[in-house]
Amino acid sequence: MEESTIYMEEVRGETLKKILRESEGDDGRIQEIGFMVGETIGRLHEGELIHGDLTTSNMMLGEGGEIVLIDFGLGSVSGGVEDRAVDLLVLERTVQSSHPTLDSILLPKVWEGYLSVGGEWGGEVMGRLEAARIRGRKRECFG
Q: Is residue 62 part of a domain?
A: yes
b/e for 56-95, b at 16 or more Cβ within 10 A? bebbbbeeeeebbbeeeeeeeebeebebbbbbbbbbbebb
The predicted structure's pLDDT at residue 35:
98
Catalytically active residues, by annotation: 53
Residue 59: give its domain's CATH number: 1.10.510.10
Q: Is residue 21 part of a domain?
A: yes
The predicted structure's pLDDT at residue 138:
47
Ranges of the chain with pLDDT below 50: 138, 141
Show the domain range for 44.
13-138
The predicted structure's pLDDT at residue 137:
56
Number of domains within the chain: 1
Q: Which pTM was predicted?
A: 0.91
Nearest to 19 by CA among 51, 59, 54: 59
Rg of the chain (C-alpha set): 15
The predicted structure's pLDDT at residue 7:
84
Q: Is residue 5 part of a domain?
A: no
